[in-house]
Amino acid sequence: MIRFDDVSYRYPGGKDVLSNVGFSIRQGEMVYVTGPSGAGKTTLLRLIAALCRASRGQIVVMGQNLSALKPRRIPLYRQHIGLVFQNFNLLYDRSVFDNVALPLVVRGYAYADIGRRTRAALDAVGLLGREKSLPLTLSGGEQQRVGIARAIVTKPALILADEPTGNLDPEMALEVMRGFQRFNEAGVTVMIATHAIDLIEALPHRIIHLEHGEVTDKMPVAASRLGASHGAR
Ligand SMILES: Nc1ncnc2c1ncn2[C@@H]1O[C@H](COP(=O)(O)OP(=O)(O)OP(=O)(O)O)[C@@H](O)[C@H]1O
């Protein structure tokens, strides 16, 4: 589904923020990208979403070599990807329904299809009853679930989520992570950049851990376990 071969990336005028990164992800996998602030997690997801282009190396996603992807083909490529952001990126003067329906409207779906698909996406995140609400009348966890419904409404093969629980309390964060798990169980490949090591320890996971822009075997340790080992001493 995703293959990185010796990929490096530098922002214009800067130094490498990703260096010689290599990994592959099979269709249907659920992968967390971890690492300290500035390690390159967001950059990695941006490369997969074709929001930027590798400076060196090769990235192949869903059979598409991204270095060879023509700019005019990028919107079509992105139709297969659902993007979820930390700050929800909702339109606050539009209803929950309108927010979720937006990708379908942009893509010119028929009116009846828009209603059916939007309600199915809202149902999948447990928000069917809130379609007429404005986002600000929802809790943080519910707003993030609106963002997730919008990301899945086009039935993407791949979901990329950048720190999706960063603005949520632990209970809501777990609920959101479990939602991603359910989509993964339905066959969607999911990749989530997160600091929330404690949270993902409780969930089935594969981790790609970054340090200073490099993939490393050195795994993060949950704060809860650090506490336990201090207690044992
Ligand atoms: N637009 C930009 N121009 C120049 N440098 C950038 C830009 N965006 C990010 N960087 C740098 O690239 C490095 C990796 O940033 P990135 O946002 O990918 O890290 P991250 O692991 O997602 O961090 P965080 O957990 O804080 O979100 C950082 O050193 C950052 O300062």
ipTM of the complex: 0.96
For the Cβ of 38 lying below 6 angstroms from any atom of ligand 1, the answer is: yes
Model confidence band, residue 111 (pLDDT cutoffs 50, 70, 90): very high
When divided into structural domains, the chain yields a total of 1
For 70-113, give the secondary structure using H, E and C. Answer: CHHHHHHHHCCEEEECCCCCCCCCCCHHHHHHHHHHHCCCCHHH
Residue 110 lies in a domain: yes
Residue 96 lies in a domain: yes
Residue 220 lies in a domain: no
For the Cβ of 14 lying below 6 angstroms from any atom of ligand 1, the answer is: yes
**pLDDT at residue 231 greater than cutoff 50:** no
List strands edge to edge, sheet with 64-65. 16-25, 2-10, 56-61, 64-65
Query: What is the rounded average pLDDT of the residues 205-231?
Result: 74
How many CA within 13 A on the CB side of residue 205?
A: 23
**pLDDT at residue 101 greater than cutoff 80:** yes
Residue 95 lies in a domain: yes
Q: Which domain holds residue 131?
A: 90-155
Instruction: Please indicate whether residue 145 or residue 172 has the higher confidence score (pLDDT).
Output: 145
Model confidence band, residue 92 (pLDDT cutoffs 50, 70, 90): very high
For the Cβ of 18 lying below 6 angstroms from any atom of ligand 1, the answer is: no
Q: How far is the CA of 93 from the centre of ligand 1 (A)?
A: 30
Instruction: Please indicate whether residue 115 or residue 166 has the higher confidence score (pLDDT).
Output: 115
Residue 78 lies in a domain: no
Q: How far is the CA of 39 from the centre of ligand 1 (A)?
A: 7
**For the whole model, what pTM was predicted?**
0.90
